[in-house]
Amino acid sequence: MSIVTLTMNPAIDIATTAESVRPTDKTRCTAPRFDAGGGGINVARTIAVLGEPVTAVFPAGGPPGRLLEDLVHDARISMRSVAIANPTRESFAVTASDTGEQYRFVLPGPRLTAPELHRCLAEIERIAQDCRYVVASGSLPPGAPADFYQSLADLLTDLGVPLVLDTSGAALRAVRRGVHLIKPSVRELAEYTGRPLPDRGSRVAAARELITRGVSEIVVVSLGSDGTLAVTADGDEWFPALDVPVRTGIGAGDAQVGGITAGMSRGYPLDDAIRLGIAAATAALSTPGTAPGHPDRIADLFQRLSPRPDDSGQLAVPK
């Protein structure tokens, strides 16, 4: 049984560096790095380096779509691509050597037709029958209804397969029920609730609203350098971040989702699964482009995050 990831708006992630970035000047860059990108694909890459079987489902079109398939294949990830008419998008990141600042350019992606959207859900239905988890991560493409992920949640509820969801904006606001674990950032959670969330108490209350309303059984709130907050119906726990040098933050949130899902798939208690997610995200901060962390590095960081033997975790994965 494997984990399945769904990426509805994948991209070719192009990363490069330049001595400086200034308006109107030609910016001469170093040789680019090409990665298969988009939330679910990034999640799958982390799950794969952690040694868990994973299959990535994504739409792909045109020459960029064929390159995307080649990059996923090169990452040794099983895939099911869904052919679409319009070409897959590209994203571009430039790091300025003189300041260390990173400039990210994200294109909207191809418009998907109603039949193309249906084929993506049909592909999930075909392969999700016996999987442990389905992870849907990232934005929706143009043409997709805001409640697309709700349709996915309803489908997986009927199949009895838990859904892990990481999205934002209208796609997040349209989710009403049936998610096992949802991972908003604190900014995304504040936008969802329509109010500022300045402290732990307000964040726990906002997360528990989603649980009480049946949106999700578990809410994991990423706080950036302030750590991670996990909330269930029975408790909440804050996990500190690790202070490490940052090469790039692109894909770290996806790596966290990948680590959490891999941990739950292994049967870890929820607190340990979240620690594995933090270790995976931290390891990804020092890799080029959107590359996942090395498994040995993830293992070392996970060990640093593990509680003392006499500590007892507060959270467990809801059954």
Indicate which residue of 166, 236, 254, 272 is catalytic: 254
- Look up residue 225 and give its amino acid: S
| Residue 251: partners with Cβ closer than 8 Å, 6 or more residues away | 13, 37, 42, 284, 289, 290, 291, 292
Q: Active site includes 254?
A: yes
DSSP 41: H
Tokens of 243: 């202070």
Looking only at the bridges linking them, the beta strands covering 163-166 and 134-137 are: parallel
| DSSP three-state, residue 250 | coil
| Residue 311: partners with Cβ closer than 8 Å, 6 or more residues away | none
DSSP 174: T
Tokens of 110: 């191809």
Tokens of 179: 């998610």
Residues designated catalytic: 254
